[in-house]
Chain A
């Protein structure tokens, strides 16, 4: 069997894979390169400089972007934390709650925000806040983000929990730990990789959201995506490329963290 034909590889697939990665990265690389352009215009190349990064922090629009960044990050942190806590409780009830009637409807409700198209959810949320007389602003963004982040936090947590056999907490309870102690001291630490992944995913989803935020933000409150969108609508400027590159860097850092966490197996 030494001259066995290779049934796995197909000619051309390697080329398409490289093409795929090229397509995915080329626009991002171009923007990164141009963010270091010294020129006033986005078309001509005038040498390497950090002037647009400086412009983001001290330039004429810096106040707007700073406030938007504060809003974005505070909303993302609060919404992702709340969503992760809610998702952890829900996952415990779904994966460790036995079989019961409310289980399937609960799963349906949790996956609702990712099944409904984002624009529809945005419309529904706007109409709802309007009909109950909520003034649009920071709070409406925060509440909407918390709700739609739940399924994103939930999925990695559920996946993780399913991978942990219940013998661990049973062993603890055989040694007279209460159920609460078994959760706090055994199950929760074992679930940690899933919880961190869930949090990171929820955080990035909140930070990235444009459509829902744009509908529920109201006048005057901006997050980074809505501020960038407003600026791009008036024309592409080099400072937008500098902000984009920084956010790109942040995303890469977060994926890298989440990549290493996924390799972390603490059940052994």
Chain B
């Protein structure tokens, strides 16, 4: 998505060049005032002192970042040692998001490939089938997952009825449930960009490889995969980034013990116990991770574009 908007196309038609600034004005005002400015204010907040009833005191400090990374003992005067509490939450989130991305790729790539190689008349129907879940409310999809995975839910009932298990498997409120939730939430995000790449792939290249005695799997690995790499990377970004900051799956499926970044941040803004500067600092760490990732991604895409 990001790459799609960033390119803007190369056609330099200039019919409305004279009024272009007027046409851009509303988007500049709304996005500048309600997206760009808020992100800037959040940066400032992450360097302020927390007030005990939630909120801030305008007194610049590095306390929020210090709390994130370092442990200075009970009274705050000990030697700083690395504080693992929050780093490990970030690490767990990265790991969960990475695994969800990998699983989505494992299922999503063959699906996208299969759909893209269908005859033109049925292809649209397949894409349509994958698109529907993409448009269904994420909260409802997560709630459905919760319903399905419960101890006395349909999944356990089914497994017990076929005789695979005797007692219900406890899945809800575990890391596994969060993982299934993330995978389920963002799987369509993987399929659609890969599908778009495979659809543009020129299959005469596969034929050429076959003529040169490459096996089908070698062709897939050495010819098809490199050609559709931009779509694969786009799909991975579209799954990884929202998984990393996910709130609904860890909150509804993971319970209190399986905290992820999203829950940690949300906690800081709930009620009076919150710590706004700390929440802003944690958001900044997350934002930085995502921005670095997107930077690498856009460089990759540009290189791929230059090579093509």
Contact = CB atoms under 8 A, between A and B. Distances in A.
Interface string B55-99: 100000000000000000000000000000000000000000000
Interface in A30-64: 30-31, 34, 42-43
Contact of B187 (A24, A100, A232): A24
Given A109-B28, A117-B242, A232 B269 contact: no
A93 B24 contact: yes
B30 A103 contact: no
Interface hub of A5, A8, A229 (most chain B Cβ within 10 A): A8
Interface in B235-277: 241-242, 244-245, 247-248, 252, 261-262, 265-266, 269, 276
B6 interface: yes
Interface string A63-99: 0000000000000000000000111011011111111
Given A30-B144, A123-B283, A251 B132 contact: yes
B23 A93 contact: yes
B301 interface: no
B227 to A, nearest CB: 13
A143 B31 CA distance: 10
A116 interface: yes
Contacts of B114: 13-14, 16-17
Contacts of B9: 95, 158, 162
Interface string B105-146: 001101101110100000010101111110111111101111
B241 A16 contact: no
A210 interface: yes
A224 B28 CA distance: 30
A20 B107 contact: yes
Contacts of B283: 119-120, 123-124
B148 A94 contact: no
Contacts of B247: 118-119, 210-211
B169 interface: no
Interface in A199-251: 204, 207-208, 210-211, 214-215, 225, 228-229, 232, 236, 240-241, 244, 247-248, 251
Given A43-B152, A150-B31, A182-B15, A89 B23 contact: yes
Given A9-B117, A10-B216, A158-B8, A117 B287 contact: yes
Contact of B207 (A7, A10, A23, A148): A7
Contact of B206 (A7, A27, A143, A225): A7
Interface string B275-290: 0100110010011001
Contacts of A195: none
A229 B111 CA distance: 32
Given A107-B6, A128-B41, A102 B24 contact: yes
19 contacts: A10-B113, A10-B216, A13-B110, A16-B111, A27-B141, A28-B136, A30-B144, A95-B8, A97-B14, A97-B24, A107-B6, A110-B5, A115-B2, A117-B245, A123-B265, A128-B41, A182-B15, A208-B137, A236-B146
